[in-house]
Structure 1
């Protein structure tokens, strides 16, 4: 059924329950829902408050739930309506279509079954989809700080633009998983299926796909009178249903000791899988998070692409202050200096907050006089990421550590024996790993990374 037909059937269901046709706002809510719009977008398009739209939607879902004997919500409304074409209710709607005045001039359609008899006829109808969520692997991280812009950007890409493949990347501790958790909590009801997977280094693509297919197929509740089809391929599920699949720690797919984004031999078939997600038409979204991302993501720069990448940077001063406040450090001196030193990285700030909480805020003065204090937790997180670097990247990092100011590509070439092609590839890889920054035509290593590497050289 097309949009017009879906709305027509929905109007008949509401009329059968309430004796009233859909008003303009109700139709706008249903139309926006069928087009995968958020309540906020519907409210903007209709020029009314979001709360009014939510209240109207809530009343409509209650009407459909009571009339059909199923839990109907914003996320599963479209799939439920589409399945009506083979149901008793759809046949009823077609039979009475000639006697109902769709334009709303008549409020008394003849011979419409009462809700009780309609409910009895639908008592065995089980083909409606309800939202299915497997978030057992999604961590509970507690407080969430800042990232309002990043959240809105991701929601726009996923809900409004319906992007198929999105990567969240950034240095260790920057808050990729925390952002992903917050995002899923806010948009999960927009999907029929939601699953969070932490990438297991022992999990092959075949095992990953089998687990997803098992989740999709076992979650379905179908009418016993309708034959159950054989298990679909994964892409068929993503095409037939609106699914959100989150894959965390994606960097485990890639080789250690090589440039960023190069697959380990046993995971090279993931490259074909990601290409399939990008190129084949479907209504689902695969969200990837990790220190590195597939090159198919980094190669796409078009604003209108179905693929997007979000590289996280540090928190702003206000969000960083909230972290310290949560540790009881409300009157800490030179907060701006501390946040700048540790680049607004949530993990690094929490590590510093732990030190100050245990040793007292008087330790702040000592901490600020230190060239750059590195708590053990910070060293461990940096070690995990820096140990993955290729020998070529390590050479370039050493060159950057030796510089006290941002350095140009020309000077890097002059100061090293690395050929230009290798140097460019190494710089690109380090930038993708969020270990260096580019300021116009100059490159700089992050201070805390510089201190960490310098400490290794002193061993």
Structure 2
């Protein structure tokens, strides 16, 4: 749904007008008057018009998030303000099914760096990568809210459901052109060209969640599925063409098109998301767990994966009366997180699965030469390096560099999953 919010200058005018009326911020008259403007009388109906609530009023005054257009205009009319004078110019947003991020923990470093890439460095494509449950989707929404003022249009879409590329392009073209480009091309090439015109005509932010759903399974990481090769062409076109817009995508694995054209000083970059670290304590606190001194051990066990920790924390409350020590004395519990790991594991090639099982059976990190020695009778060095690179692009192996060289290992939860699967 399209949304509006006030500009910085608009917020100052709103504040001034509100003071002139003399009503306290929490006065219900703001809501009643706005509701009446939209045709619903509070006195007669006992309820407010759609979109008029304490929440939208608070967001209207804060100006950090957009609210639906009718409510924005109604609040402005109550304040006797011309809405066009206070609205962020050409502000158009479509959040579709983006999750609520009002509860958000940490990620300050990631948000600052990503904002720098997109706002200051003018990156055209930014890929947020990480294993399932690590928080990519939530971060993409939080980032979009944080940088939305730098764009004229913003659209967020999930690729779950595997939408055909021409359908997705049609949605993007219609929205970004403000319904002006209705003569959509019947060819993929034509729609790609029409999209690029939109990206050049104004600064747009496009967020595409769950990119892994259009990638192939059973082969090395990052290759498009059969019939979805056009998505790779979309990335190449957006990453290599001149424009001022930005595509942000989230994925379990790095698309090969991103790997081919990314670089620290180039307009295409990727960020591999890690666990929350100490910020994950907020999750455990909200769940009401006991023995705070043991929380760090619990967090490390699941490498700060927010989804895994939420599942585990619920289990600790339900089955261990909130006692972290009792839980830690037992076996590593995966719960519903195991289904997510299974979904990722089944995407791997057979060689990658063998690698994970081998790594999962060793408590210590393993060097590349050790892997080579173990698999020397099965594969060449080239194949080994390709498989390692693929697992790294899938964010399923942890790479450790020290004075003795480069070593590879698995997170405890993933190691537990593969050893349980292949006893």
For residue 325 of structure 1, the aligned residue among 285, 301, 311 is: 285
Say whether the 8 Å CA contact 1:201–1:253 is kept in structure 2: no
**SS at 2:313's partner residue?**
helix
Q: Distance in 2 between matches of 1:210 and 1:362?
A: 50
Tell me if 1:445 matches 2:410.
Answer: yes
Counterpart in the other structure of 1:22: none
Counterpart in the other structure of 1:287: 248
Q: Distance in 2 between matches of 1:156 and 1:306?
A: 12
Q: Which deviates further from its counterpart, 148-157 or 136-145?
A: 136-145
Equivalent residues in 2 for 1:31-430, closer than 5 Å = 70-71=84-85, 73=87, 76=89, 130-219=90-179, 233-300=194-261, 302-317=263-278, 319-329=279-289, 331-361=291-321, 363-374=323-334, 376-416=335-375, 417-430=378-391
Q: Distance in 1 between matches of 2:217 and 2:199?
A: 31
**SS at 2:100's partner residue?**
coil
Shift of 1:263: 0.8
**SS at 1:266's partner residue?**
coil
Q: Distance in 1 between matches of 2:226 and 2:411?
A: 32
**SS at 2:336's partner residue?**
helix
Q: 1:330 to 1:142 in 2, by over 3 A?
A: farther
Say whether the 8 Å CA contact 1:167–1:287 is kept in structure 2: yes
Q: Deviations over 1:92-112 (max 9, x none)?
A: xxxxxxxxxxxxxxxxxxxxx
Q: Deviations over 1:237-275 (max 9, x none)?
A: 100011000100000111111111011111111222111
**SS at 1:166's partner residue?**
strand
Counterpart in the other structure of 2:36: none
**SS at 1:247's partner residue?**
strand
Say whether the 8 Å CA contact 2:294–2:325 is kept in structure 1: no
Say whether the 8 Å CA contact 1:132–1:219 is kept in structure 2: no
Q: 1:444 to 1:253 in 2, by over 3 A?
A: same
Q: Distance in 1 between matches of 2:182 and 2:333?
A: 61
Shift of 1:276: 0.9
Say whether the 8 Å CA contact 2:235–2:257 is kept in structure 1: yes
Question: Could you state the TM-score of these two structures normalised by the residue count of structure 1?
Answer: 0.68
Q: Distance in 2 between matches of 1:198 and 1:450?
A: 30
Q: 1:188 to 1:418 in 2, by over 3 A?
A: same
Question: Could you state the TM-score of these two structures normalised by the residue count of structure 2?
Answer: 0.74
Q: 1:219 to 1:68 in 2, by over 3 A?
A: farther
Say whether the 8 Å CA contact 2:174–2:182 is kept in structure 1: no
Say whether the 8 Å CA contact 1:260–1:432 is kept in structure 2: yes
**SS at 2:105's partner residue?**
coil
Q: 1:217 to 1:443 in 2, by over 3 A?
A: same
**Which ranges in structure 2 are unaligned for 5 or more consecutive residues?**
1-62, 64-75, 185-192
Q: Deviations over 1:218-248 (max 9, x none)?
A: 456xxxxxxx996781100100011000100
Say whether the 8 Å CA contact 2:153–2:203 is kept in structure 1: yes
Q: Distance in 2 between matches of 1:333 and 1:356?
A: 15
Counterpart in the other structure of 1:431: 392
Q: 1:373 to 1:165 in 2, by over 3 A?
A: same
Shift of 1:357: 2.0
Q: Deviations over 1:166-224 (max 9, x none)?
A: 0001010000011111111222232111111111444222111111111123456xxxx
Q: Distance in 2 between matches of 1:328 and 1:142?
A: 20
Counterpart in the other structure of 1:13: none
Q: Deviations over 1:298-355 (max 9, x none)?
A: 23453221011010011121x1111111112264341111111110111111111111
Larger Rg: 1
Q: Distance in 1 between matches of 2:83 and 2:97?
A: 32
**SS at 1:310's partner residue?**
strand
**SS at 2:93's partner residue?**
strand
Q: Deviations over 1:344-389 (max 9, x none)?
A: 1111111111112223445422321224222x21111111111111
Q: 1:70 to 1:139 in 2, by over 3 A?
A: same
Aligned-residue Cα RMSD (Å) equals 2.4
